Amino acid sequence: MVPDSCEVGPFSTIGPDVVLGEDCRLISHVVLDGHTRIGNKNVFYPFCSVGIAPQDLKYGGEPTQTEIGDDNTIRECVTISRGTVKGGGITRVGSKNLLMAYVHIGHDCRVGSGCILANAATLAGHVNIEDFATVGAFSPVHQFCTVGKYAFIGGGTIVTQDVLPFSLTSAKRENRAFGINKIGLARRGFSEDRLKTLQKAFRYLTSSKMNTTQALEQIRGMEGEDAKLLAEFIEKSQRGIIK
């Protein structure tokens, strides 16, 4: 279903099970496939492919799904795979995200809202990118990893464990979290008090002599929703965290 308000450029194809929202723009050579539901005001640049079959040898053509929110910018040659039956059956992308050229979002991934995935950032299957996170250029993220809210991953960083919310993580520092994403958080409206609280929490994690369990105990005793979110993220981590 394609509303009249949408602009479909030359050589673009839209599958029969695709539902497109209002005011979307397909510039040219865009492929929308599968059981895909797309919100309003999304812009698709040339040669991007959305809702395509997953790169999973176990996939047998099941009618799995892709969901995309509103106001996303999906640049050249981005690929977004539909879900798999064993992975929950759906790949989700939220709203107001910037997916730069050659980004790959694998099957059963969840990308929140307000995220930036820079050129050639690659999400293997089952990855969870929380709201307002940034994944740097040429950064692959391993299956089942979670990147926390407001995290910033520097370019060329290989991510094989969960990335702490609010953190600045980079391959230049041997794949370590070396503090909070201070500039990004300030741009998002974080007050000085919130930043100071987070800096204190990260000192427990990254620069004290405490182990993770001891640092977590200290963070649990701190006031504020940010410290609570950080503690809950660490407690729920399945793959371990990058410290």
Q: Residue 147 carries which DSSP code? A: E
Would you give the distance in Å from CA 62 to the centre of its chain?
Answer: 25
User: Which residues are within 8 A (CB) of 145 and not within 5 positions of it... i.e. 6 or more apart?
Assistant: 127, 128, 159, 160, 161, 162, 163, 239
Q: What is the DSSP string of 11-54?
A: T-EE-TTEEE-TT-EE-SS-EE-SEEEE-SS-EE-TT-EEEEPP
The type of residue at 235 is E
Catalytic residue among 29, 35, 104, 107: 107
Nearest CA to 9 out of 47, 35, 36, 63 is that of 47
Catalytic residue among 34, 106, 112, 125: 125
In angstroms, the CA 105 to CA 103 distance is 7
Would residue 226 show up in a list of annotated catalytic residues for this protein? no
Would residue 107 show up in a list of annotated catalytic residues for this protein? yes
Catalytic residue among 108, 148, 179, 226: 108
SS3 139: coil
CB 62 within 8 A of CB 36: no
Partner residues linked to 116 by β-bridges? 98, 134
Sheet holding 152-153, edge to edge: 7-8, 25-26, 43-44, 73-74, 98-99, 116-117, 134-135, 152-153, 167-170, 176-180
Which residues are catalytic, by number? 107-108, 125
